[in-house]
Structure 1
Amino acid sequence: MDTNFDPYTKRVLIAGATVLGFVLLALILQRVASVLLLIFAGILLAVFLDSLTSLVQARIGLARGWCLGLVVLLLGLAFAASGWFAGPPINDQINRLGERIPSAIERIQATVAQYEWVRSFLLGPSGSGQGISFSGQAMSFVAGGITNTIGALASGLVVLIIGLYAAATPSVYIDGAIRLLPPARRSRGREVVRALGKALRWWLLGRIASMAIVGALTAVGLWIAGIPLAFVLGLIAALLSFVPYIGPIASVVPAALVALADSPNKVLYVLVIYWAVQLLESYLITPLIQERAVSLPPAVLISAQVIIGILAGAIGVLMATPLAVVLIVLIQMLYVADTLGDSVPTLGE
């Protein structure tokens, strides 16, 4: 049997095999993306704990295990103290937030019901005579919320375990990964790992600082404007700003609903406050922080959030930015520097 193919046929077969390989790889990644990102989140936690542990160890000179235990203890005490002193008022504001949002939705429903074209646009021609009601979906919503909560707690436990073990003995995992490389490439592999750790540390520092400032400015601005639940809305803004660009936009929604339930005129105040905070964050706070921390182009961040979010859902959006940091460092060191031979400063330097 003649297995020799002409050059054109070979090119077609190679192209087809390549496309098939990429399709199979995409399907596999879609199946395991969430698990891989959970592991990556654990590694990110380990980087955070390792940074604090190294700082404590440099100050007091104890063994690494004792320093890590001290860091975990201090963090636990800080969270416990925060929960003890700030927990009741935060819980009260969260409960009030939960009470206000339905009334804001009802106000929106009443407004929409006054305009037939808006109802037709939202419900379609066949649904123009229907009311906008969520009562029929209440039980499924509650069941879904319970399932999602259990899943989030389980995922958080996995991340915590991975982070603690990796932070306790990072050399075990780093050495194990380096041994998978050819001997001639192991030295370069260690350089890449160190660069990745440094870039992630500086990225975490910049993100935490930015989150704290955004949350404080938002809470103060809402409080001055007389918006109810200013503290918890500022906390939501701080947490959601962990995800650049998408998070700040999402944080406007609960604040706007609270303002709408209190007074429709206050919605404009909320929009102005959030716009002003994001303006300060984009043009003053972030540039000052990123003089030393890691800076990424906006198009790269948004593209990473969309692509990884499609593959892995919410956790993909959360982990998109640090994953983009890792990919850029790898490209800079392994492709631009090693393959092309160009000298380029890596992120975090």
Structure 2
Amino acid sequence: MKLNFLTKNLEQPDFVARAVTVAFVAAAAVVLAFLFWRLSEFIPIVFATIVLAIGWRGAAEGFGRRFGISPGLSLLAVAVGLIAGTAATLMAFGNQLIRQYDEVALDIPAAIALIERLVEEHPWGRFVEKLVLDVDYSKAAAPIARHVGAALGSLGGGLALAALAIIGAAYLAADPKGHIEGVVALTPVQHRTKMMSFLHRSGASLRQWMVIQLYVVVMNAVFAGVALWAFGVPAPLALATISGALAFIPYIGSIIAILVGALVALPHGGETAALAALAIGGASFIEGYLITPFLQSRSLSVPAVVLLFCMLAFGALFGAMGVVLAVPATVVLSVAYDVVTRSASPSLPHPRSE
């Protein structure tokens, strides 16, 4: 009887069409999973290229509206302005930055050696030393050495990927409409409206997020630099730039910046290390709890716990670059979720931020 039921279903065109569709979807899912696994190192570069293109295009559009010039000239003007600004900054502060970064490179190993000596002199330190006396530290350090060697060896590859991302961003920023139309054309007809909404809204959200991050990085660096200079902490300019750059990474970046500042100042005394940690931590507190919430009051807001778990997930999938790009990726995923859920529930009001 089961055989007859199967035979009847096979004779129906709808059953065959559904079976073919299910098989095609399953095969496509397997292929996409395989490509995702094989291209796991390339996906962050593509996403970084898109983010760079969106920021470049947004800055060029604002510049073009202000001065009434064409989009192509605006893109060129923004690029030239960034290069000129970077060159001017290096000419003004380059020697001082290099000297202070050299000081940072010398102070951190000295601080680690000081901590090791203090631990060995403490009774609990000697107790721990006896417990781990039989550990072969050469074997424990071998994986670290391999990772360091791999990182140094891949420096040229990283620079090549950065150049590729800049070139790709130039193409995307020069013709965003054409690339959007190409993505929409590859989308099934019944989902093209949602895809168009997702592309436009995610681009606007990423552009707004980048403007906020620019303010966050600059403000963090300024506050940290002023406090470090006022407290007399060594290498204030280098530590301020490190603190500002790490402010790009929520939560984790501030912790790393505080640890780096404390380590750099530790060889100059425990009080100096405490002041360095206080300066960078205070700058991170002001930026994280006063400036950022004010700037994000009218923008897309992602819950902190969601952002934290997304950072862990992207870090596990894509490494350090995944952590750096976790926030913009989470913003895009939030927009995608909102587009899908609101299209499924038409009665929901449209968000004001759009």
Normalised by the size of structure 1, how large is the TM-score? Answer: 0.85
Alignment-mate amino acid for residue 43 of structure 1: I
Pick closer, same or farther for the CA change 1:183–1:142 going to 2, 3 Å. closer
Distance 1:25 1:64 in 2: 36
1:37 and 2:48 matched: no
Give me the CA root mean square deviation: 3.2
Alignment-mate amino acid for residue 150 of structure 1: G
How far has the Cα of 1:131 moved from its partner? 8.4
1:247 and 2:260 matched: no
1:170 and 2:176 matched: yes
Larger radius of gyration: 2
1:338 and 2:343 matched: yes
Q: SS at 1:294's partner residue?
A: coil
1:65 and 2:102 matched: no
Alignment-mate amino acid for residue 218 of structure 2: A
Distance 2:326 2:75 in 1: 27
Q: SS at 2:41's partner residue?
A: helix
Q: How many equivalent residue pairs?
A: 335
1:272 and 2:287 matched: no
Q: Which among 38, 46, 50 is matched to residue 53 of structure 2?
A: 46
How far has the Cα of 1:148 moved from its partner? 3.9
Distance 2:208 2:158 in 1: 27
Residue 75 of structure 1 corresponds to which residue in structure 2? 82
**Is 2:259–2:277's contact at 8 Å kept on the other side of the alignment?**
no
Pick closer, same or farther for the CA change 1:37–1:138 going to 2, 3 Å. closer
Q: Which among 177, 183, 200 is matched to residue 206 of structure 2?
A: 200
How far has the Cα of 1:71 moved from its partner? 1.3
Pick closer, same or farther for the CA change 1:244–1:139 going to 2, 3 Å. closer
Single out whichever of 319-328 and 251-260 deviates more from structure 2.
Answer: 251-260
Q: Which among 204, 209, 220 is matched to residue 215 of structure 2?
A: 209
Residue 95 of structure 1 corresponds to which residue in structure 2? 102
Single out whichever of 260-269 and 299-308 deviates more from structure 2.
Answer: 260-269
Residue 292 of structure 1 corresponds to which residue in structure 2? 298
Distance 1:124 1:141 in 2: 28
Q: Which among 112, 117, 121 is matched to residue 119 of structure 2?
A: 112
Structure 1 unaligned spans of 5+? 6-17
Distance 1:271 1:319 in 2: 26
Pick closer, same or farther for the CA change 1:109–1:345 going to 2, 3 Å. farther
Residue 18 of structure 2 corresponds to which residue in structure 1? none
**Is 2:247–2:284's contact at 8 Å kept on the other side of the alignment?**
no
**Is 1:210–1:286's contact at 8 Å kept on the other side of the alignment?**
yes
Pick closer, same or farther for the CA change 1:345–1:290 going to 2, 3 Å. farther
Distance 2:266 2:227 in 1: 17
Residue 235 of structure 1 corresponds to which residue in structure 2? 241
How far has the Cα of 1:161 moved from its partner? 1.6
Pick closer, same or farther for the CA change 1:136–1:190 going to 2, 3 Å. closer
Pick closer, same or farther for the CA change 1:195–1:255 going to 2, 3 Å. same
Single out whichever of 283-292 and 218-227 deviates more from structure 2.
Answer: 283-292
